[in-house]
A and B are shown apart, each in its own frame.
Chain A
Amino acid sequence: MRTLRTLAAGLAAVVAFGLAGCGGDKSDTNNVSPGSGTASSASNITGGITVFAAASLTESFTTLGKQFETAHPGVKVTFNFAGSSALATQINEGAPADVFASASPKNLAVVVDAGNSAGQSTTFVKNQLVIAVAKGNPKGIAGLADLTKPDLKVALCAEAVPCGAAAKTAIEAAGVKVTPVTLEQDVKAALSKVKLGEVDAALVYRTDAKASAADVDAVEFPESAKAINDYPIVALKNAKNAAGAQAFIEYVLSADAAKVLTEAGFQAP
């Protein structure tokens, strides 16, 4: 059941991405339920809620979505997980989304500045970088300085995505020069290169390393404190389910959700 749900969420995300890729502004098939958009209070919301969330939120938001659906029978939460910058572009191009949860305020600002947000954004968690290495740390990586070794292959996120911007800040704070072999488009892509053994190390969020603890080890480093990412969440102006969006955001800010997020390795804002 669990895997089925995850699969369904993944498929929905792919569909949402496909739609966005076409620049389409089509009505979301999940939102056709008759009560959609008319409900006003959190207790009687209905229909579908489409949430665009940063790739690093994949595990924790999938869990939150399921809990939210249990608390609100008949409501279906659909996620589109991708790099925050890609999500911001999709939203500004008219992708059908109700909520945007970004891995950095910069990418959220892109949406707010374009006038596509509704109301104030709220920071709900913070995240910090770690060095993801192969299980057992065979190369003995202890800190950022070790990433400068010439025979070591390192993957970083591209600077446009929050994990790449944070990596740049942390590397500069350490005063070292890291030459990556690839600039990945989101944090999960960078992590998968470590999992596949194609690179020896990647700078990823602590939460991502924790979610893949079976395959990778996380090496903490002091400079990550200089590059802490705030995660803001906001409702969107073109939301088809404004009441649902508001209810989901309230849920993400609740104590129940905080427990899930802390367990995933996020820090309280």
Chain B
Amino acid sequence: MRTARVPVPLLVPAVLGLIFLLLPLAGLLARTPWSTLPARLAEPQVVEALKLSLLTSTMATVLCLMLGVPLAWMLARVTFPGRRLVRALITVPLVLPPVVGGIALLLALGRRGLVGQWLDSTFGITLPFTTAGVVIAESFVALPFLVIAVEGALRGADSRYEEAAATLGSTRWTTFTHVTLPLVAPGIAAGAVLCWARALGEFGATITFAGNYPGITQTMPLAVYQTMESGDLEGAVVLSLILLIVSVAILAGLRDRWLTAP
């Protein structure tokens, strides 16, 4: 590592950027009534919301991995007409306000939605107001994060290994599972973490599409909002902090175990 002098035009904005990110966090910590934290953490409704948040965001990440990795591979490795358009469309959930995403999900998968009314009449399945609905809403907003990260990793990976496997008679599927996947594993892990974090913090699409009911669809961000709505700002701050601590602890744990592996 060379430790040459850091240029000022880079140092100043970098420090400002860091302060900008940390200042709201400092505001949160400054207003935290620390003494009530353990009592809050023991409240059944808080435990319920925290469990639901962890469960749904993990399920959403699994769903995103199952759909997103193949999608990213298609975009990076297969030339097909309209690929650029597909790539642009994938970023739509990123620019869409989550509440609009929730309405769009209702119009597609709701009881009267494009596909939803068929799901209801044929299978008797309705997704709004169910835990599955929460997973769908979270996956919708989180999937682009995974696809973009994995596609970037695939494009950056050296394709000569895949070509070598192909010349040795490996099928495309075997090449994918035995060469490509191990090669881009760190990229997939990073994408999965981004995806999970986005799903954990999801609010707008969830409350619009899945509604808000304790134990079924009320995740931590919804619980925080409802606590604030009821005029209990301190309670909302404590709940936010619980979510923050738990997610940072999990990410730190994962980082030590997986992400820094060679």
Contact = CB atoms under 8 A, between A and B. Distances in A.
Taking residues whose C-beta sits less than 8 angstroms from the other chain, chain B's interface range is 20 to 34
A87 B243 CA distance: 25
B228 interface: yes
B225 interface: yes
Interface stretch (B53-61, B137-145, B185-193, B209-217): B209-217
B147 interface: no
B127 to A, nearest CB: 10
B220 interface: no
B262 interface: no
A66 B4 CA distance: 65
Interface stretch (B14-22, B84-92, B106-114): B106-114
Contact of B106 (A92, A159, A160, A196): A196
Contacts of B111: 197-198
Contact of A153 (B112, B129, B212, B231): B129
A198 B226 contact: no
A161 B229 contact: yes
A264 interface: no
B226 to A, nearest CB: 6
B229 A158 contact: yes
Majority secondary structure of chain B interface residues (helix, strand, loop or mixed):
loop
A159 B213 CA distance: 12
10 contacts: A85-B231, A107-B231, A110-B231, A155-B211, A181-B128, A182-B212, A185-B212, A196-B106, A197-B111, A198-B129
A182 B211 contact: yes
Contacts of A107: 231
Given A160-B229, A197-B111, A197-B112, A185 B129 contact: no
Interface string A139-169: 0000000000000010100111100000000
Interface of A: 23, 83, 85-86, 88-89, 92-93, 107, 110, 153, 155, 158-161, 180-185, 193, 196-198
Nearest to B225: A185
Contact of B211 (A110, A159, A181): A181
A97 to B, nearest CB: 16
A181 to B, nearest CB: 4
Nearest to B130: A181
A197 B110 contact: yes
B213 A181 contact: yes
A155 B27 CA distance: 35
B231 A182 contact: no
Contacts of B225: 185
A183 B212 contact: yes
Given A182-B213, A182-B217, A198-B129, A158 B226 contact: yes
A185 B229 contact: yes
A198 B212 contact: no
Nearest to A185: B229
Interface string B74-118: 000000000000000000000000000000001100111000000
Nearest to B230: A160
B78 to A, nearest CB: 38
B233 interface: yes
Contact of A160 (B112, B213, B226): B226
B77 to A, nearest CB: 40
A138 to B, nearest CB: 12
A183 B230 contact: no
B226 A185 contact: yes
A93 B233 contact: yes
A89 B228 contact: yes
A180 B229 contact: no
A76 B112 CA distance: 40
A102 to B, nearest CB: 12
Contacts of B230: 85, 158-160
Contact of B212 (A83, A92, A184): A184
Given A86-B229, A158-B226, A193-B211, A181 B110 contact: no
Q: Which 9 A-B pairs have the closest CB atoms?
A: A182-B211, A160-B230, A181-B129, A197-B112, A85-B229, A160-B229, A110-B231, A198-B128, A183-B212
Given A183-B226, A184-B212, A196-B110, 16 more contacts: A83-B229, A89-B229, A89-B233, A92-B233, A107-B231, A153-B129, A158-B226, A158-B230, A181-B211, A182-B217, A183-B212, A183-B213, A185-B225, A197-B110, A197-B111, A198-B111
